[in-house]
Amino acid sequence: MARHLRSSSATETDALYRPLPQSEAVSEATSSPLELEGDEELVAEEFVAQERLASHDRRIGWIHFILGSAILLPWNALITATPYFLSRVEGSPLKSTFSSYLSTTFTFANFAFLAHATATTDQSTNSRRILLSISWLTLLMFLLTLSTYIHSSPGVFFAFVLVNGICQAAAGSYLQTAVIAVASFFGPTAIQPIMSGQAAIGVAVSGIEVLSAASSLRNSAPAEARVDPEPEEKSAFIFFGLSTLFLLISAGAQIWLTKLPLYKALKDRFRQATEHTRSLSPGDFDEGYTPPVDSRDHILHEEKKHQLVRIAKTNVIYNIAVAYVFIVTLSVFPPITISVQSTNPAAHPLLFSAIHFFVFNIGDFLGRYLCSFPRLLIWSAKRLLVFSLARTLFIPVFLMCNVQRSPSASGNGAIITSDILFMLILLIFGLSNGYLSSMCMMSAPSVEHNPRLKGRVEDVEVAATVASFCLVGGLATLDVVMVYKQNVVL
């Protein structure tokens, strides 16, 4: 009771009243709660100040751009190498189901390991986890490179690629959570380059597909010449080799990041905030008693679990918004957009399809890049959710285009018959996908811009990883549904 009265009245009488010196025990009892709150507020202010310094360091932005590219490199490498994979199982019944099996196993593994990575993330081990994940990805990519020189039966090769893909999904999941958690140190200006790096990989891969489609149409060869798998093997060797080299560069970038003074300063600020929340309350144990290691580990585990649930509820609007962004995106792109045919008879379907992927990825990249301009940022969770839900309107708009609904349909009855207008709508669709997903990821863990965190620096890491899990969760859930529906139709 005395402590409550002293705390509540101190600010009212401090200007007139000067207390006599008290004993050390009484002094601690009366001032400790106030000092703790002041310390937490000071740590939060210093943390935000360090984040603002990070926004002016271009090295941090480029490092996270590289790491963001490394996150999506494994899946995009597997997609790009699909022609090579199919050439290795040519003449086998596995060819018709290869892509579906690869997509399904990768998606399930990615989602499962991402859940574990999110639940076990720890800022003290994230840097080591990044390097370990990149090392595994480098080894797995190198094995794919060697596979272009080692020939085996279609069944053995099929199993090898699936196992390799599952392992890459696992390593990529731990890499993603760790990179996002570390980026949350530096604030929104570090998360934005990660999102842009991921989109840049999509632009590069779809650009390669456009060039490949154009080249195949320009240099069309007899069927006998296309049976030879050697061109696919050479192309896959080059791509896998370059991917392996890029992963090594990513590891070097992460090591460079940990050497920066600003990284060490922000890590110290985070450690200070975490020590406050992880310290046991005086009533938990008798004075002078140190609990066993097992008890402390159990308490920390329960605190971590409680923190995950609490942050998931606190940022539920951001989490729903970012998940729904990708639910809408994957419900349209590519299931509906791939069925849109050009109204120009001279346009080849293969090239038109490749260009449509490229246009979406360009829009996605531009949307994420727009988040680097402060005047274009939207931090409000409710507004982001409204915009995310509003993207549902794209579904009927795309259905108004020249959709080929069945092999026998001619596409007549389409309201939007202009190829240029279709590509423009697709560009805006991709732009909204990139912008809203980036803003949700940038806002959720921001101490400065997310009032729901109430300035708790120790919640930044968890908020970032939970939002990342929801992003992939929305993507993975609908991706599995689409693959299942495709298999049922087939």
How many C-beta atoms surround the C-beta of residue 307 within 10 A?
18
| Nearest CA among 386, 67, 332 for reference residue 195 | 67
pLDDT in the model for residue 4 = 41
| CA–CA gap between residue 358 and residue 205 (Å, rounded) | 8
Residues 6-65: tens digit of each pLDDT? 333 343 334 433 443 443 333 333 333 333 355 566 656 666 666 666 667 788 999 999
> pLDDT per residue over 431-478, tens digit each?
999 999 999 999 999 888 888 988 787 788 889 999 998 888 766 665
**What 3-state DSSP class applies to 415?**
coil
CA-nearest of 195, 87, 59, 182 to 129 is 182
Query: Quick one: angle between helices 58-80 and 154-186, nearest 10?
Result: 160
Higher local confidence (pLDDT), 367 or 482: 367
**Cα angle at 112 between 111 and 114, to 5 degrees?**
65
Domains (ranges, CATH) in the chain? 58-259 (1.20.1250.20), 293-490 (1.20.1250)
Band of residue 192 on the pLDDT scale cut at 50, 70, 90: very high
CA-CA distances (angstroms) from residue 409 to 26, 339, 398, 412? 85, 11, 17, 8
pLDDT at 127 over 70: yes
pLDDT at position 223 = 45
Of 24 and 372, the structure prediction assigns the larger pLDDT to 372
Among 20-34, 60-74, 367-381, 389-403, the range scoring the smallest mean pLDDT is 20-34
Alpha-carbon gap, residue 409 to 383, rounded angstroms: 41
SS3 content of the chain, % helix, strand, coil (to 5): 80, 0, 20
Handedness of CA 61, 65, 70, 72 (dihedral sign): positive
**Paired tokens of 394:** 């794209």
pLDDT at 282 over 50: no
Q: Name the residue with higher pLDDT: 286 or 158.
A: 158
Joined tokens for residue 214: 């154009």
pLDDT tens-digit readout, 75-111: 888 887 888 888 888 888 888 888 888 888 888 898 8
Contact between 187 and 54 under an 8 Å Cβ cutoff? The reply is yes
Q: What is the pLDDT of residue 121?
A: 81
How far is 182 from 91, CA to CA, in rounded Å? 47
**What pLDDT was estimated at residue 219?**
65
Structure confidence by residue, pLDDT tens digits, 283-338: 444 445 455 555 555 666 677 778 888 998 999 999 999 999 999 998 888 888 98
- Structure confidence at residue 275 as a pLDDT band (50, 70, 90): low
Secondary structure (DSSP) of 198-248: HHHHHHHHHHHHHHHHHHHHHT---HHHHS--HHHHHHHHHHHHHHHHHHH
